[in-house]
Structure 1
Amino acid sequence: MHDENDNLMIRIQTGDNLAFDELVALHQRPLIGYFVRNTRDWQLAEDLSQETLLRVYNQAWDYLPVGRFKPWMYRVARNLLIDNVRKRSHDALIRAYQTRNEENDTGLSRIAGEFATPEEKLNDQEFCEIVDQMLEEIPEEQRQTFVLHHYVGLNLAEVAEIMDANAATTKSRLRLAREKLQDKLRPLGIKSATDTSAVG
């Protein structure tokens, strides 16, 4: 039995343009969230998300509806991101974006529940803003692994497929990203439930 994404792709393959509109409605905002956290540029993120969806449409007839749509789509997105990163200056890559989308904070809002100040749980929105800033300082492959897993909600096998990495490498990148975030949060008096280090 096909899932919602597969059903939409099957309809697109039969020439149903309304199905593409539905696909855009489902995935445009999550794609923008993925790109904005990797480019720090909201307008660019919107452009890349639109280009990703256009490529999905143009390549729809090559897609096999076997329940693997999200890894397939985010592989397209990652390839676009890599091409763009190669063309952009460092200053453009780290430019802060101005607009936030509450839906795209869902993943880190869940993570926020695992962290607390010494006195009380950190506000989810404040936590997400802090983590967004600190993600800039994490190496690209670790950052993308973290974003795909926690923001997009993909499992590790799907992330590994998109990143062209094996399971062990993917787990290692995710662990390193988490550890680096913990190291950066600790001086602010924020620690995770599994962090046994002293608060700085």
Structure 2
Amino acid sequence: MDSSTDNAIMLKVKSGDLEKMGLLFERHHRPLFGFYYRMCQDAELSEDLVQNLFLRMIKYRHTFTGEGKFTSWMYHLARNLLADHYRKKKKMTTDNFKEVEKLWEEEAAQETKEERIRLLEKAMQYLSDDKREVLVLSRYQGLRYQEIADMQNTSEANIKVKVYRALRELKEIFQKLERFSAL
């Protein structure tokens, strides 16, 4: 095994060479921050979650087997950490659209590419956590469906269906937000 692969480095961490975790941090802290930020829209919380994830990776290093991709194991822990955070804070994503008009009063009505991106990000926040997660992992983090399936202990076909349904719902939400913004 190439000693510079994530798996090889994590196996060294597992065997007690904790200094190697710095290499993994350098490689993965930005994508992890992006994952958390897209899930919770809070930069400070996202930074905290990334730090806590690397501590959790050290704590649970004994669970890493070296089989499969390191990133699948890492995102599995990342998902669990986020779920634990929400359980502790009793925060749940709302499907309530009453806030949409208020949000759009604060923004300009002109359609630009940047505004459409912001609109898409808002629409993402109205998805359930499960749907938003599969979209973030597949579209933003670039994980393959099989990797996500392994993380969620399900089939690749099931993940494809989840992504399809999430995209369909995202489109509906985006269109509703567009209509509200035109008012």
Q: TM-score range by the shorter chain?
A: 0.7 to 0.9
Distance 1:44 1:20 in 2: 21
**3-state secondary structure, aligned to 1:65:** coil
**3-state secondary structure, aligned to 2:67:** coil
Q: Sort the Cα spacing of 1:164 and 1:10 in 2 relative to 1 into closer, same or farther, 3 A.
A: closer
After the TM superposition, which residues 150-189 of structure 1 pair with which residues of structure 2 at under 5 Å, given as runs?
150-186=139-175, 188=178
TM-score by length of 2: 0.75
1:133-157 CA-partner distances (Å, limit 9, x unpaired):
1101112211111011111111111
Contact 2:18 2:58 in 1 (8 A): no
- Bigger helix share: 2
Unaligned stretches of 5+ residues in structure 1: 95-121, 190-200
* Matched AA of 1:142: K
Q: Does 1:145 align with 2:134?
A: yes
**CA RMSD between the two structures:** 2.5
1:11-66 CA-partner distances (Å, limit 9, x unpaired):
32343343111111111111111112222222111111111111112222331222
Distance 2:14 2:90 in 1: 38
* Partner residue of 1:131 out of 120, 125, 130: 120
Distance 1:11 1:31 in 2: 21
Distance 2:35 2:152 in 1: 14
Distance 1:24 1:5 in 2: 11
Distance 1:171 1:47 in 2: 31
Q: Sort the Cα spacing of 1:126 and 1:79 in 2 relative to 1 into closer, same or farther, 3 A.
A: same
Distance 1:15 1:77 in 2: 22
Residue 169 of structure 1 and its aligned partner are, at CA, apart by 2.5
Distance 2:66 2:28 in 1: 17
Q: In the alignment, which residue of structure 2 is the partner of 1:55?
A: 56
Unaligned stretches of 5+ residues in structure 2: 95-111
* Matched AA of 1:173: K
Report percent identity of matched pairs. 28
Distance 2:173 2:153 in 1: 28
Residue 67 of structure 1 and its aligned partner are, at CA, apart by 3.7
Q: In the alignment, which residue of structure 1 is the partner of 2:27?
A: 26
Residue 166 of structure 1 and its aligned partner are, at CA, apart by 2.8
Contact 1:78 1:162 in 2 (8 A): no
